[in-house]
Amino acid sequence: MAGELQQVVGNLVVLEIFSVFNNSLFGSIPSSIFNISTLKSLDLSSNQFSGSLHLPWKLSLFNDLEELYLHTNQLSGEIPSSITNASKLTVLELSYNSFSGFVPNFGNLRLLRWFTISKNNLTGSTNFLSSLTDCRNLELLTISGNPLHGILPPSIGNLSSSLESFWAADCNITGVIPHGIGNLSSLLDLVLDRNQLTGFIPPTIGKLKQLQVLYLNGNKLQGYISPNICELSNMGNLYLADNILTGPIPECLGEVKSLRIIYLGSNKLNSTIPSNLWNLKDLIYLDLSFNYLSGQLSSQIASLKALNGLDLSSNQLSGNITSSIGSCQSLEFLSLSINKFEGSIPPSLGNMRGLSTLDLSSNNLSGLIPKSLENLRFLQYFNVSYNKLEGEIPTDGSFVNFTAQSFVNNFALCGATKYRVPHCVDKKTRRSRRKNVVRLMKYILPTFIFVIILATVFILVLMRRRKLKRLSAPADDIPLGISWRRISYIELVRGTCGFSEANLLGKGSFGSVFKGTLSDGLNVAVKVFNLELERAVRSFDTECEILSTIRHRNLVRILGCCTNIEFKALILGYMSNGSLEKWLYSENYCLDLIQRLKIAIDVALALEYLHHGHTFSVVHCDIKPNNVLLDEDMTAHLGDFGIAKLFGEGETTVQTKTLGTIGYAAPEYGSEGKVSPNGDVYSYGILLLEMFTGKKPTDDMFNEEMGLKDCVHEALQENAVSEIVAPGLLAREDQYFSAKEECVSSIFSLGMKCLVISCDERINMMQTVAALQRIKAKVVASTTRRQRYALSNITRGQ
């Protein structure tokens, strides 16, 4: 919709809900709209309304208004204080406009739940915050991005205990963070970045047990980082960068297992990096740059398999760069510049396939630039300037684009003229002689070592066998990867009541899955492999390999494993809502259209990640409802990687004999045994049709001539989608029938694109995800009249 909102709307005298959000309406908001005395909810958000807001002065005229959404427009002028008389208001969203002047006191609005005025031009004091202490239902309070000045009043601790989000970033707030903040016990997000807050971080912050996000960066906070911060056992994002914090990084921070992102850069921290920190296995980003940290980089860093960015630049770190850093396979950003690192650049850096920035400049590094770095296909920024490096600068791979600027001021680098270094003279002849020796070493030495290792392993295995026989119980465990939890056989026996029938969740070709509880109370699924089947053993190895290298919100998480010669089990996250299969086909369970769409998107995201999110791709090979598991929030997780395939770089297909499931497997899979990501796309297409028709591809109603795919194809041709849709998803009497029908239709059409016979012409998962997101946005926009936009749309800290 585009155009002006006519004065006419005022004539709609008995309207209760008026919503035109997310259109292109412009002009001023006709004041007659507030003359509709029955109006309960008014949503004009995300349009281009401008001018100032004129409300009728007689209170009775909008007595009943409960929700007023005006955010994301171009409204200006003052916020009319008469709003404070609309005493039934629960939602008042004025963010993203150009309101100016003072903020009135809203204390009258006792029922207020969401109050947002972020990103306006509001000035004056922060006194209105005190008045909000009377709003006992307040959940969302955002005032970020206004030139307010003023302090955080001590009464802030008297705000509603139901407050979940308090955002006051970039508001020119001065003074200290009041101790009372610790009273806000429901707080999930506390966002106070880019102000001028002074003083200490109050120790009471440790009382915010629910807190997940803490943004205090860009202030003038000083003193030590209080260890109380380690009491925030749900905290994911910790931003304390750009302050004047001194002293050590608290040792206990390594115990806050929920941490994902840590920004402590640009402070005056002067300890070593506590070794504990490397226990945070789920850490994604760690920034400790621009501090006075000293000591060495621990080899334990190898356990941070999910780490995406590491910035340790501008500190006083010394010693060698540990070669185990090469195990941080997810790293894309690595800066160790401006430190005192010495020794050579570990060739293992060439293993970090996704690396795009590597800055090692301004250290004391010596030796050669490893040739292995040419393998870093995505490397865009590379800097080894101001070191003591020597030898030839590599020229291939990612190095073709680097210039002399990456290599300035070293000891004796040589190579191509574009690097503005001397040619590497005479090296060739010398090298070829050396090469012969090297070749000799390369082939003979490894063979020799290999034989020794083999013999040692053989003896060890023999010894272990004997020992096991003596114990006659599979009592010891060998943790497979250091990043996993060590879980003993005994703990599993206890936790599953001796693998009892009552705890059995399901059986498959590989073995059985049991529900279990670990000693710390954590519920898990224990997948026990049947070792009599060679296939099951292989399946175990594949799952271990794949699940330990990848991690995604929509993949089943591997928590640990228990393995010895007679017993192998994987310990996986427990999915309390069971499989999608159950939800699609058991009575007493049902999923509506949006829920199905969300699950479809979750699965597509998981596949997108598997296929494209990594430098190697993983093909799942067995997409079906049984392998889609739902957690307590109904978020879908793709599981069962027993027959998945890992593709090396450059590989696009492999031949295989392991078959997927009949009905879901792509045609090229059966006929040629050809496995590629496109095969997953096909199975996903079937899953999509199945989810929205409620029919299995193997249903009796289908045959050679008329399969599920043909049936949907025909319905699309004949515009008869509503006839094949799963029962309960579409009802003609539904007020949103046509929007929902269109949605289902788009999903089926998308499914068809996944099911193109020629595997090269199928769309890929990135396109599929994008298409699904569009379909969802459309159906959500046309079937819901209100959205809690604030949390999803405003970028954090604004």
Ligand X SMILES: *[C@@H]1O[C@H](CO)[C@@H](O)[C@H](O)[C@H]1NC(C)=O
**Contact indicator for 308, 329 with CB cutoff of 8 Å:** no
Binding range to ligand X, per CB under 6 A, among 403-411, 505-513, 524-532, 788-796? 403-411
CB-count burial class (<10 Å; 0-12, 13-18, 19+) for 680: buried
Answer yes or no whether residue 364 interacts with ligand X by CB under 6 A: no
Strand 24-27: give its sheet, edge to edge.
2-4, 24-27, 48-52, 74-78, 98-101, 121-122
Answer yes or no whether residue 615 interacts with ligand X by CB under 6 A: no
CB 786, min distance to ligand X, A = 25
Smaller CB separation from ligand X, 387 or 768: 387
Q: In Å, how far from its chain's centre is CA 106?
A: 37
**Structure tokens given for 278:** 């490397």
CB 155, min distance to ligand X, A = 3
The span from the first CA to the last CA of the chain, in angstroms, equals 29
Answer yes or no whether residue 158 interacts with ligand X by CB under 6 A: yes
Applying the rule CB under 6 A, the residues between 19 and 38 that interact with ligand X are 31-32, 35
Smaller CB separation from ligand X, 59 or 659: 59
527 belongs to an annotated ligand binding site: yes
Choice from 63, 212, 246, 656 touching ligand X (CB under 6 A): 246
Choice from 38, 48, 100, 222 touching ligand X (CB under 6 A): 100
Q: Write the CA distances from 95 to 121, 127, 144, 630, 787, integer angstroms.
A: 10, 19, 9, 35, 14
Answer yes or no whether residue 313 interacts with ligand X by CB under 6 A: no
Choice from 161, 401, 519, 698 touching ligand X (CB under 6 A): 401
SS (H, E, C) 394-442: CCCHHHHHCCHHHCCCCCEEECCHHHCCCCCCCHHHHHHHHHHHHHHHH
Beta bridge partners of 367: 389
Answer yes or no whether residue 107 interacts with ligand X by CB under 6 A: no
**Structure tokens given for 234:** 């749900």
C-alpha angle with apex 271: 267 to 273, nearest 5 degrees? 95
Choice from 3, 223, 247, 728 touching ligand X (CB under 6 A): 247
Answer yes or no whether residue 10 interacts with ligand X by CB under 6 A: yes
Answer yes or no whether residue 8 interacts with ligand X by CB under 6 A: no
Contacts of 633 (CB under 8 A, 6+ apart): none
For 678, phi and psi rounded to 5 degrees?
Answer: -60, -30
Give the total of residues touching ligand X (CB under 6 A). Answer: 31
Whether 242 is catalytic = no
The DSSP output letter for 609 is H
Answer yes or no whether residue 81 interacts with ligand X by CB under 6 A: yes
Choice from 406, 617, 676, 678 touching ligand X (CB under 6 A): 406
Decide the pairing of beta strands 17-19 and 41-43: parallel
Choice from 6, 364, 395, 405 touching ligand X (CB under 6 A): 405
CB 50, min distance to ligand X, A = 12
Answer yes or no whether residue 123 interacts with ligand X by CB under 6 A: yes
C-alpha–C-alpha distance, residues 223 and 200, integer Å: 6
C-alpha–C-alpha distance, residues 439 and 699, integer Å: 61
Residue pointed to by tokens 């009943």 = 64
Q: Residues 254-283: x/- map of binding to ligand X (CB under 6 A)?
A: ----------------xx------------
Smaller CB separation from ligand X, 403 or 456: 403
Answer yes or no whether residue 564 interacts with ligand X by CB under 6 A: no
Q: Write the CA distances from 690 to 445, 711, 714, integer angstroms.
A: 57, 11, 15
Binding range to ligand X, per CB under 6 A, among 303-311, 380-388, 559-567, 597-605? 380-388
Answer yes or no whether residue 59 interacts with ligand X by CB under 6 A: yes
CB 122, min distance to ligand X, A = 9
C-alpha–C-alpha distance, residues 561 and 568, integer Å: 8
Smaller CB separation from ligand X, 121 or 500: 121
C-alpha–C-alpha distance, residues 221 and 225, integer Å: 10
Annotated active-site residue in 170, 242, 622, 680: 622
Applying the rule CB under 6 A, the residues between 280 and 299 that interact with ligand X are none
Binding range to ligand X, per CB under 6 A, among 62-70, 397-405, 761-769, 781-789? 397-405
Which residue in 193, 303, 224, 201 sits closest to 257, CA to CA? 303
**Contact indicator for 603, 684 with CB cutoff of 8 Å:** yes
CB 551, min distance to ligand X, A = 27
Smaller CB separation from ligand X, 408 or 763: 408
Choice from 49, 386, 419, 669 touching ligand X (CB under 6 A): 386
Choice from 400, 412, 457, 757 touching ligand X (CB under 6 A): 400
Residue pointed to by tokens 């585009």 = 2
Smaller CB separation from ligand X, 100 or 186: 100
Beta bridge partners of 213: 189, 237
Helix axes 737-754, 593-612, angle to 10 degrees: 30
Q: Summarize the annotated binding site as residue ranges.
A: 527
Can you give the binding site for ligand X, defined by CB under 6 A?
Answer: 10, 31-32, 35, 57, 59, 81-82, 85, 98, 100, 121, 123, 154-155, 158, 246-247, 270-271, 361-362, 383, 385-386, 398, 400-401, 405-406, 408
Q: Which residues are catalytic?
A: 622
Q: Summarize the annotated binding site for ATP as residue ranges.
A: 527
